[in-house]
Amino acid sequence: MKITPLKILQILIYIGIMLAIVLMMSPKEISIFGTEVRVPTADDVLPESLLTPEEANTDLSEEEYEEEDLTVDLSDIEENSTWTPVEEKPLVVKTPKGAVAIEYPNGDKEYLDNFFRGLSDISEKGSMIRVLHYGDSQLEGDRMTERLRKNLQEQFGGCGVGLVPITELKNMRTTLAQSYSDNWEQFICFGPKKYRGKHNDYGFFGKYYTFDGTEATISFEKAPYSKTQHKEFEDFKVYLRNTVADVTLKYTMNEVEGDPKTIEASSEPKAIKLPVSGALGELDLAFEADASPEVYGVSFDCNTGIAVDNIPMRGSSGTDFTKMRKGHLKTLFSDLDVKLLILQFGVNVVPQEAESYNYYERLLIKQINHFKEVDPNLSILIVGVSDMARKDGSKIESYPNIDAVRAAERRAANKAGAAYWDLYLAMGGKNSIVKWADKSPAWAGKDYTHFTRKGANFIGDMLYNELVREYQRYKNRDPKNVETK
């Protein structure tokens, strides 16, 4: 018998019809010798768009949807609940190639103990603590911070991506995507002077945002490659100050609209908690006011555990924090329980070659002291400048002044009383950035300055391992000999 294309098509159609009948009549599970075996059904095979609402399980009632994706404010429950201490996970400290120990100011091995006590309090008291990771463009896109956050939250608990600015380019992060109306304006304490605010009450990001007109919107949604720990959150807050007029805040979480919240005008900054939590699909916010408030950002967190915030300041040398009023920062910090502040700068200093970097040392000391006045109990870690290279004749080699910049950062940390971690040495020292850029896949870009996500993850892992190594040493000490600072 001659087989023609038409006969092949007829056979395929026949097989498809028979398969559809079998799937629709499938019992879902059958018992074979006492073992339950699952049988594929139509909803396992057909795309959701071809299923009935019952089969797709998308025809949830409003009450069911709200219960799953839009929670009520849990403050009453939290107040009346009792925390049961949980056993902390065993620490696993790895020693990757290039591991470099954290240096303590003046040899004070107890300098980071306030941060370490905070870590212990998570399991013992159900605490929620924060790490603020400031840096230059090396951190953009949640690089390094993402891996540090992942490791710390897997060890100590926590969820969400932490603090997020109001405006950020979509797809800048792999952990969260956002979009916003075009009437937002930002004022920053660093960069060109034309972007400065009318005052120096800047928020966590060294910025505050206002909008033109009487309404502005912002939307947050899961990024294309968001992982579970990025999407899940239990506590959502908006940080703002509305000195002139009341603000109405409207919000919709995963297409479920919440009750609008009115914020009365006040001269003090506020943390406005909204009753939303769960798995983020999309969260839409709308601000309505006769006069724009000053908005500092939002936060996606858990109720307990650790939050690690990514705060890039493109173009900054890390010497602009003294432009932020201490009293205002103190009020903002009081709501966050920040235990560790990481300052990672230097790539904007290296290209500005100078005979001496004593000026940079003095400026860094001022920044460290500024934060110490904001919160005397704050632990501060300076992450030294990474390797950077430039073309020198026919060769691509590290900048010759890298050592001088590193030395200025180390001296500043020691004199002002902050810990120091030498990223340059951890990378492998001179010309390591060239080797990283030549890797396949590359760990650094061909600008020989910025890391790829692969390289940034490696650094995040190294920094995490050094922190938990020191935490293990803290736990090994006799608690009776550890003074409370």
- 101-123 residue pLDDT tens: 999 999 999 999 999 999 999 99
How much of the chain exceeds pLDDT 70, in percent?
A: 80
pLDDT in tens, 140-161: 999 999 999 999 999 999 999 9
CA neighbours within 13 Å on the CB side: how many for 338? 27
Per-residue model confidence (pLDDT) at position 226: 72
Helix (H, G, I), strand (E, B) or coil at 210: strand
pLDDT in tens, 179-237: 999 999 999 999 888 899 999 999 999 999 999 999 999 999 988 777 777 789 999 99
**Contact yes or no for 471/119 (Cβ under 8 A):** yes
All structural domains of the chain, each given as residue ranges with its CATH number in brackets, are 5-59 (no CATH), 90-158+304-485 (3.40.50.1110), 161-302 (2.60.120.260)
Mean pLDDT of 375-396: 94
Whether the predicted pLDDT of 41 surpasses 60: no
Whether the predicted pLDDT of 482 surpasses 70: no
Per-residue model confidence (pLDDT) at position 91: 84
Which has the closest alpha carbon to 242: 210, 273, 215, 212? 210
Per-residue model confidence (pLDDT) at position 82: 58
**Contact yes or no for 341/129 (Cβ under 8 A):** no
Instruction: Put the strands of the sheet holding 419-421 in their side by side order.
Output: 305-312, 128-135, 338-344, 379-383, 419-421
Q: Residue 51 — pLDDT band, cuts 50, 70, 90?
A: very low
Q: What is the pTM of this model?
A: 0.81
Q: Residue 287 — pLDDT band, cuts 50, 70, 90?
A: very high
Whether the predicted pLDDT of 63 surpasses 90: no
DSSP secondary structure, 334-374, as one string: HTTTEEEEEEE--TTTTTS--S--HHHHHHHHHHHHHHHHH
Query: Beta strands 305-312 and 128-135: pairing type?
Result: parallel
- Residue that wins the pLDDT comparison between 50 and 120: 120
Whether the predicted pLDDT of 427 surpasses 50: yes
Mean pLDDT of 381-391: 96
Per-residue model confidence (pLDDT) at position 22: 53
3-state SS string over 408-469?
Answer: HHHHHHHHHCCEEECHHHHHCCCCHHHHHHHCCCCCECCCCCCECHHHHHHHHHHHHHHHHH
Q: Residue 338 — pLDDT band, cuts 50, 70, 90?
A: very high
Mean pLDDT of 394-411: 95
How much of the chain exceeds pLDDT 90, in percent?
A: 70
Q: Which residues have a Cβ under 8 Å from the Cβ of 302 and sit 6 or more positions away?
A: 128, 157, 158, 159, 160, 233, 234, 235
Mean pLDDT of 62-84: 42
Query: Beta strands 247-253 and 256-257: pairing type?
Result: antiparallel
Mean pLDDT of 61-78: 37
Q: Residue 35 — pLDDT band, cuts 50, 70, 90?
A: very low
Q: Residue 54 — pLDDT band, cuts 50, 70, 90?
A: very low
Whether the predicted pLDDT of 30 surpasses 80: no
Per-residue model confidence (pLDDT) at position 61: 33
Q: Residue 75 — pLDDT band, cuts 50, 70, 90?
A: very low
Per-residue model confidence (pLDDT) at position 23: 52
Per-residue model confidence (pLDDT) at position 83: 60
pLDDT in tens, 290-320: 999 999 999 999 999 999 999 999 989 999 9
